[in-house]
């Protein structure tokens, strides 16, 4: 669909010789993540906006702490740079809008020394339309769509919020998810309800969930078919994270690939059953800090119990991963419940026909 | 020749101006807004002592944010107008 009375783009234009000159311009100005970028031409940016039916000056949101307004045009420029096609842009725009919600705490999560990344989980029909792969290598370089959508958010943080290392971004270590951290749920190969539906989005609606997330911690248990034993391994990894990183409860995601998923599903367990079991099992006493060199902060509260989840609702259970292997992953929150995962439906245009030229 | 667009935010948020600096701290009230992290206790204790002993500050008010990664709570912000100077923005 073509927008009538198309508004002109207003961003500053640079005229450069060729692709190589574009790379030098963007790298020398600190506008990249260190990797090459797709030169954001007017045509490519307009195509993203047309696909999403957004005028260039449409406000995607205002960052609550620094009151920084973000327009569709600026977000689309960064999406193009990341390698996004127009059909990816509605996902990027919805994820960005979700990140701007106060409970996500964008400023804190992107400036913290703790160094989390924005994990994006895609649900609904849009996954199939954009070719997001939820199976092999799900948490890494699984496909084009998730790679560029996750990268678009990072480039937008760098360029629109000045979240550059040593600038607003004060991260001590960070993790590779800060290049791109986006997965799709394998809705076709599970009996479980999709994550977005669990979080209140209507059935068959495309949606994204964003979470300020640390790196995945992989587990392995190929030696049982008992859901309790399998999930005990996940819970143990969460307890390890509580001991070694942060004891405080918040949103955790757990990613369950097909092999382990089939054992759990086969026993009749739902995502809710999983969450309730993990909620009970993922908890430690403060005194356990003394076992891992943190005895100095146990003080007189050694018997206090800390749950990894404030409630079962705080566990994001995601069906994703390759078909074989008794692996899974937990993805811890940046820092307890200071930030909360946000789920948002993708605008009506996510399922629109491509624009006709 | 190709034309590329500036990816940065050219529409900056409305800026703020720093408050006027008091010519002297003698007899004044200074507020501390701590992020609550462990290392701030010793730091602020030292600055408190220094302000009173070396600069003649009359009162030092200590406040701690409820979330160290979020802006100060509104009740703390509301207090600021009663202070002559504020020390904040201290990291880990």
Domain locations in chain B? 29-87
One domain, residues A160 and A303: no
**A348 in a structural domain:** no
**A204 in a structural domain:** yes
Residue ranges of chain B whose CB lies within 8 Å of a chain A CB = 1-14, 38, 67-71, 91-92
- A15, A112, A159 ranked by CB distance to B3: nearest: A15
One domain, residues A250 and A138: no
CB contact set of B47 (below 8 Å; sequence gap of 6+) = B32, B87
Contact A228/B at CB under 8 A: no
Residue A66 pLDDT grade (very low, low, confident, very high; cuts 50, 70, 90): confident
**Nearest residue of B to residue A12 by CA position?**
B6
List, in sequence order, the alpha helices (H) in A186-257: 195-198, 227-244
One domain, residues A233 and A187: no
State the pLDDT at residue B71. Answer: 87
Q: Are B86 and B30 in contact (CB under 8 A)?
A: yes
CB spacing of B7 vs A26 below 8 angstroms? yes
State the pLDDT at residue A269. Answer: 98
Lowest-confidence region among A123-132, A156-165, A343-352, B83-92? A343-352
Q: Which residues of chain A lie closer than 8 angstroms to B10, CB-CB?
A: 10-12, 74
One domain, residues A294 and A316: yes
Could you read off the pLDDT of B47-72 as tens digits, one per residue?
999 999 999 999 999 999 988 888 89
CB spacing of A42 vs B3 below 8 angstroms? yes
Q: Is the pLDDT of residue A356 over 70?
A: no
A265 vs A351: which has the higher pLDDT: A265
Residue A5 pLDDT grade (very low, low, confident, very high; cuts 50, 70, 90): low
Mutate to test the interface with B, among A12, A64, A82, A297 (most CBs of B within 10 A): A12
Q: CA–CA separation, B67 vs B90, rounded Å? A: 14
Mutate to test the interface with A, among B10, B39, B69 (most CBs of A within 10 A): B69
Q: Is the pLDDT of residue A351 over 70?
A: no
CB spacing of A16 vs B1 below 8 angstroms? yes
Top-confidence range, A271-275, A346-350, B77-81, B86-90: A271-275
**Nearest residue of B to residue A334 by CA position?**
B69
Structural domain boundaries enclosing A234? 215-331
> Average of pLDDT values for A306-320?
98
Contacts A–B by Cβ distance under 8 A: 99
Q: CA–CA separation, B32 vs A148, rounded Å? A: 43
Distances (CA, A) of B83 to A180, B25, B58, B63: 45, 11, 11, 12
One domain, residues A327 and A189: no
> Average of pLDDT values for A250-254?
98
**A349 in a structural domain:** no
Which among A176, A179, A175, A184 has a CA at the least distance from the CA of A143?
A184
Count the domains in chain A. 2
ipTM over 0.85: yes
Angle between helices A72-82 and A144-161 (to 10 degrees): 130
**A337 in a structural domain:** no
Q: CA–CA separation, A347 vs A177, rounded Å? A: 26
Query: 3-class DSSP state for residue A212?
Result: strand
One domain, residues A224 and A298: yes
**A5 in a structural domain:** no
A77 vs B42: which has the higher pLDDT: A77
């Amino acid at each position: 669909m073509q927008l009538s009375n198309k508004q002109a783009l207003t961003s500053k234009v640079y005229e450069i010789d060729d692709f190589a000159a574009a790379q030098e311009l963007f790298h020398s100005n600190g506008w990249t993540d260190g990797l090459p970028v797709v030169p954001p031409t007017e045509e490519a940016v307009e195509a993203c906006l047309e696909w999403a039916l957004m005028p260039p000056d449409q406000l995607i949101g205002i960052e609550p702490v620094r009151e920084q307004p973000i327009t569709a045009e600026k977000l689309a420029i960064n999406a193009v740079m990341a390698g996004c096609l127009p059909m990816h842009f509605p996902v990027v725009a919805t994820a960005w809008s979700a990140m701007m919600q106060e409970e996500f705490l964008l400023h804190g999560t992107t400036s913290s020394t703790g160094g989390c990344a924005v994990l994006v989980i895609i649900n609904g029909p849009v996954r199939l339309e954009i070719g997001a792969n939820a199976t092999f290598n799900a948490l890494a370089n699984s496909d084009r769509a998730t790679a560029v959508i996750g990268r678009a958010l990072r480039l937008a943080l760098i360029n629109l919020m000045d979240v550059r290392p040593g600038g607003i971004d004060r991260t001590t270590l960070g993790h590779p998810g800060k290049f791109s951290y986006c997965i799709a749920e394998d809705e076709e190969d599970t009996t479980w309800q999709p994550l977005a539906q669990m979080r209140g989005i209507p059935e068959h609606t495309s949606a994204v969930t964003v979470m300020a997330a640390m790196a995945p911690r992989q587990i392995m248990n190929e030696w049982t078919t008992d859901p309790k034993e399998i999930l005990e391994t996940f819970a143990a990894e969460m307890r390890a994270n509580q001991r070694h990183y942060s004891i405080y409860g918040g949103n955790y995601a757990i990613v369950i690939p097909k092999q382990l998923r089939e054992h759990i599903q086969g026993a009749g367990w739902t995502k809710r059953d999983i969450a309730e079991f993990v909620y009970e099992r993922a908890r430690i006493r403060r005194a356990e800090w003394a076992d891992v060199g943190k005895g100095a902060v146990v003080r007189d509260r050694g018997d206090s119990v800390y749950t990894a989840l404030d409630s079962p609702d705080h566990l994001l259970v995601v069906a994703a991963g390759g078909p074989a292997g008794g692996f899974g992953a937990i993805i811890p929150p940046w820092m307890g419940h200071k930030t909360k995962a946000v789920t948002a439906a993708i605008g009506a245009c996510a399922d629109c026909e491509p624009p006709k030229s | 020749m190709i034309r590329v667009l500036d990816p940065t935010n050219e529409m900056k948020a409305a800026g703020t101006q720093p408050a006027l600096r008091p010519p002297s701290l003698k007899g004044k009230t200074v507020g501390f807004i701590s992020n609550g992290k462990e290392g701030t206790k010793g730091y602020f204790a030292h600055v408190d002592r220094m302000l009173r002993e070396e600069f003649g500050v009359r009162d030092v008010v200590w406040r701690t944010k409820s979330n160290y990664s979020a802006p100060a709570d509104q009740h703390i912000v509301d207090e600021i107008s009663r202070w002559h100077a504020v020390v904040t923005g201290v990291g880990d």
